[in-house]
Amino acid sequence: MNFLAPAAFFFALTIPVVVVFYLLKRKRVVKLVSSTLLWQKFLAETQASAPFQKLRRNWLLLLQILLLLLAVLALSRPYFATHAKSSQLRVLILDASASMQSTDESPSRFEVARKQALEWVDGLRDEDKMVILQVAANTEVKQSETSEKSALRRAIQSCAAVDSPTRLGPALKMAESLVRDRGKESNPEIHLFSDGAVPDMSDFGNSALPLIYHKIGHGANNLGITALDVRANPDDATQRAIYTSVSNFSTNALQTELELRFDGKLVETRPLTIKPGEPSPQVFLAPQTRDGVFTVHSTTPDDLAADNEASIVSLLPHPVKVLLVTRGNRLLERAFRSVRNLQLTVAADSADDGAAYDFVALDDIAPTVWPKGNILAIHVSNTNWFEKISEVEAPTIVDWKATHPVLRYVSFDNVHVVKSLVVKTPSWGISLAESQQASLMVAGELQRQRIIWIGFDPLESDWPLRIAFPIFMENASDWLNPANAKSSQLLVRAGDPFRLSLAQPVTSAQVTMPDNSIKKLAVDANTKEIVFGETFRQGTYRLRAGTNDTVFCVDLLDAAESNIKPREELQFGKYARVSATTLHRANMELWRSIAAIALAVLLFEWWYYHRRTV
């Protein structure tokens, strides 16, 4: 045991003073009596000339000496020093993501992490400093660099777990910037309190971070909803198809009842038995006569409640109005007419901005007036979208982004192209198809305008002869349809901001939260977009701004976060990894416990004294 304030032992000199008080004789009061025969012993004491008496066994004296010893010991601030090294700066990162709400630890993983973080604050030396970061979807600085323990405790107590996934990268970059300029002699440390449910950290493979990983949690009992989407039923236009997936992350097979609700009313209940470690994709068919919210709910209780329910806004489909500007490409016109629920208008040239259409398709034509809405541009070079456009002969398609919605179920295997324009992928877009030289196809959003650019003419390839071509046209029409784009914006991942474009300026707005509380938003009169960032709780939100009344849903839908099995180590790139530490906290101060014992002794001494005098 060591002491942070050993000078406090000088207060032990007060103990002899207490003993002296017990040695002093009590002053007697003179009284006249008729006889002293029965008072011989009393007279013997009064006739003694010495001012002190013999020290007798007295429980009050022992209690008071014990009280003084405890007070002196508490003032000396004793602590147990372990093998942890002193650090002039510690950056504490507290994981507050959805998985930290798991109840395999009592009362939750987050509360256990908070308790451990507070213990590290208690062990902080006077000359050391600490920074508190909270990480979930975003990184928040709860307390800047300080050695004031009360401020650090308040910062940790103000942290709260949310329903969003973990994005540890920004937090580690911030922590790295704080410890980078510290010398090795200062021994800076980064302490992460987490269950390890974090994405790939390959960017830090060569950083040599002084990271100490404190693993929280021990169980993996969870059944989570990891996917949700709604589409029109291809076989019945009056129905909607709700696609969802439920995954079992536990080690045992689990049974559940999956409920589908529309605006709170039960539509269907489906019993499921899911094998351990496997997903169970499900498709519900439900009639829909108005816009509303579909909710999928798993009834089986598990350790994580944040992923037991997910909701999505479903808007009734409307015909897609498309303007095709072409010089007579019948093949392309026929491909558009095969798309369901699409109204096609064909023109040889376009002299307007296409405001009356949902999107405009340009077939090897640069229009007189560029459309303001979404655009499908085929073999169009007269644009300012790219830094440079060049042409190559017989390019080979070596890769394509099959995960993009535009290329869902689309393959470019054995597709031959005679010639094509190629570009360097711009910052606003994603390369959908690439040759050895550059990109042949780009999709992205530029100034709120969705764009698909195809560098080659389909008639100069064998692509139209493949089944992938009409599938691509269907996907492209869905992706460029503003109504579908709006629907996708109404499903927000927890922690991501919700954005609403305004056709007219508004001066105020309010959001009704999932718990029916209302948050007022201050809106500038000249703003064209409302951004709401407090989407940390799963559920349905309602935004009212002027005449706009918009419902949107916030869901977790993250398989990595739903897999609540604690990781024994964190992977940083291909070779670097950090294992969970078994270190105990250093410099564990004991003065609070000693002071509490001293208070108990004081109360007992008070009770014992009054009991004797009654």
263-277 pLDDT tens trace? 999 999 999 999 999
The answer to whether residue 52 scores a pLDDT higher than 70 is no
CATH code for residues 89-219+564-586? 3.40.50.410
Topology annotation, domain 320-485: Rossmann fold (3.40.50)
Q: What is the pLDDT of residue 307?
A: 95
Q: Which CATH entry fits the domain spanning 223-317: 2.60.40.10, 2.70.98.40, 3.10.50.30, 3.40.50.300?
A: 2.60.40.10
pLDDT of residue 156 exceeding 70, the answer is yes
Q: How do the domains of the chain map onto residue ranges? A: 2-78+601-613, 89-219+564-586, 223-317, 320-485, 487-555
* Predicted local distance difference test score (pLDDT) of residue 292: 94
Q: Averaged over 431-450, what is the pLDDT?
A: 91
Quick one: pLDDT band at residue 136, thresholds 50, 70, 90? very high
| H or E segment to which residue 451 belongs | strand 449-454
Calpha distance 412→414 (Å, rounded): 6
pTM for the model stands at 0.70
**Range 215-227 average pLDDT:** 94
Number of H helices, E strands in the chain: 11, 34
Predicted pLDDT at 594: 84
What's the confidence (pLDDT) of residue 502? 83
Q: List the beta strands (DSSP E) in 125-233.
A: 129-135, 139-146, 189-194, 211-215, 223-232
Q: Where are the beta strands (DSSP E) in 58-188?
A: 78-80, 89-95, 129-135, 139-146
In this prediction, residue 85 has a pLDDT band, given cuts at 50, 70 and 90, of low
Residue 548 makes CB contacts below 8 A (sequence gap 6+) with: 500, 502, 506
Instruction: Determine if residue 546 is left, alpha or beta; phi over 0 gives left, psi from -120 to 50 gives alpha, anything else beta.
Output: left
Residue 66, token pair as written in the block? 């014990």
Q: How far apart are CA 229 and CA 94, in angstroms?
A: 32
| % the chain with pLDDT above 90 | 54
| CATH superfamily, with its number, for domain 487-555 | Macroglobulin (MG2) domain (2.60.40.1930)
Answer for the pair 580, 568: CB distance below 8 angstroms, yes or no.
yes
Domains 320-485 and 487-555 share a fold: no
Residue 255 has pLDDT above 50, yes or no: yes
Length of the chain: 614
Question: How many angstroms from the chain centroid is the CA of residue 102?
Answer: 14
Q: What is the pLDDT of residue 585?
A: 47
Residue 515: pLDDT band by 50, 70, 90 thresholds?
A: very high
Q: Which two tokens stand for residue 375?
A: 């655009």
Q: Which residue has the higher pLDDT, 40 or 357?
A: 357
- Find which of 12-21, 38-47, 197-206, 515-524 is predicted with most confidence, using mean pLDDT: 515-524
